[in-house]
Amino acid sequence: MAKEKTVYVCSNCGQDSPKWVGKCPSCGEWNTYVEEIVRKEPTNRRPVSGIETQKAKPIILSEIEADDEPRINMHDEELNRVLGGGLVPGSLVLIGGEPGIGKSTLVMQTVLRMPDKKILYVSGEESARQLKLRADRLSDVSSDCFIVCETSLEHIYVHIKNTNPDLVIIDSIQTISTENIESSPGSIAQVRECSASILRFAKETHTPVLLIGHINKEGSIAGPKVLEHIVDTVLQFEGDQHYMYRILRSIKNRFGSTAELGIYEMRQDGLRQVSNPSELLLSQDHEGMSGVAIASAIEGVRPFLIETQALVSSAVYGNPQRSATGFDIRRMNMLLAVLEKRVGFKLAQKDVFLNIAGGLKVNDPAIDLAVISAILSSNMDAAIEPEVCMAGEIGLSGEIRPVNRIEQRIGEAEKLGFKRFLLPKYNLQGIDTQKLKIELVPVRKVEEAFRALFG
């Protein structure tokens, strides 16, 4: 007979304890321990894993063949790029994101583009009819895609054994449960045990598995932190539901770079790959409009131009308002302090609103120069020339610090027809200006940039 016992598990890192404690000794978070009922199996009974386990034996390092594994083409350039060139056989990939952001749509349309692979789609959240309706909306239907609605891990392994698929998709990991643990689906123990068992299956059979996961209110992957350690790749699918753009970024990748980024546009018939995001993120005409500056940003390894919009007005109420959409509000407050202290612009009694057009969230410090230029443009009600682009990080003493990959930023601006590019003076070293059709304006301090923009 299996013995039942109660343990307390940290919902943040997965550390367990026989009694409740206020502060987790592993991760240091307070009040994260929750009660779990665990069944302890007899030692002579092995848990059902659904696969035949082969005993491993030590191998000398020099005898191991290190050939590059052939990657599976997902027939999606953005997804292939974020994965590092395609899906590695035997890898476990976790895709997380907010409800309704398009995770299932992304996975389903990827599945429908792979008619040469036999795919098993395990759904624990939707019925087969709902999946069929989504597939019809996404147009093409693959004949080699098997759909099964199941939440038991042991039954899923039976379906895998019967169909012998090339790729397994589980939507979502929070709905799957194993009979070896008594707790409910989605609990810390269930998520940890099911994902560990699926990882063992993926590695021993060389079958790639795609997991879809939920996120919590903080925006991180729901479940124990150990879930992100178990899987090979963690992809975050993010964006604002009120905008049509979606960004797929890699948080962890054992088989590629975490600096890659994929951009999609949400449409009625699914997600469309955006190969040139700059043309979509720039409004067609902002000539004569104050408070608009164009920044050359890099997200991942891709350069693109974004429109920075600012509005500065006199504070109607006592405390001036500060609001930023798509940009760190604390960094904006720092830039406003630099403008006031180093440059002498009095903005203490002004409302300042900042917006990154297109619903993007940008963390690149190189857009600092565009942010303060847009703020100053709105404050003076003087428009910046529409054919001017800029990149530069602002220091606390008012200097413009160099930024990385400046050639890519300049190349993107030149490709889209911009005539002038403001850049940090230090970044001018090593750039062959003879080959460029765009005029480079090196600036060392914030005052020099303002003189170059407004005369």
Structure tokens at 44: 């002579």
Distances (CA, A) of 243 to 85, 239, 266, 364: 28, 7, 8, 21
**Res 18: pLDDT:** 85
How far is Cα 112 from Cα 141, in angstroms, rounded to an integer?
6
Closest of 300, 234, 308, 221 to residue 263, by C-alpha: 300
The answer to whether 139 is a known ligand-binding residue is no
Main-chain dihedrals φ then ψ at residue 330, nearest 5 degrees = -70, -35
Distances (CA, A) of 218 to 12, 185, 285: 12, 21, 37
Distances (CA, A) of 48 to 53, 179, 198, 199, 208: 11, 9, 12, 14, 20
The answer to whether 98 is a known ligand-binding residue is yes
**Res 283: pLDDT:** 65
Asked if CATH classification 3.30.450.20 holds for the domain at 277-452, the reply, yes or no, is no
The answer to whether 455 is a known ligand-binding residue is no
| CATH C-level class of 69-274 | alpha beta
The answer to whether 102 is a known ligand-binding residue is yes
The answer to whether 100 is a known ligand-binding residue is yes
The answer to whether 99 is a known ligand-binding residue is yes
Task: Kindly give the confidence (pLDDT) of every residue in the chain, 455 residues in length, as a single tens digit, with 9 standing for 90 and above.
Answer: 456 678 888 877 778 888 888 888 888 888 888 887 766 555 444 444 555 556 678 888 888 877 667 888 888 888 998 998 899 999 999 999 888 888 889 999 888 888 888 999 999 988 989 988 888 888 765 667 899 999 999 999 999 999 999 999 998 898 999 988 877 888 888 888 899 999 999 999 999 999 998 887 766 776 677 788 899 999 998 876 667 788 888 889 998 888 788 888 888 888 888 877 776 677 666 777 889 999 999 887 788 899 999 999 988 777 889 999 989 999 999 999 999 988 888 888 899 999 998 777 888 999 999 999 999 999 999 999 888 999 999 999 999 999 998 998 998 888 888 899 999 999 888 787 778 888 999 999 999 999 999 87
Main-chain dihedrals φ then ψ at residue 322, nearest 5 degrees = -130, 120
**Res 45: pLDDT:** 45
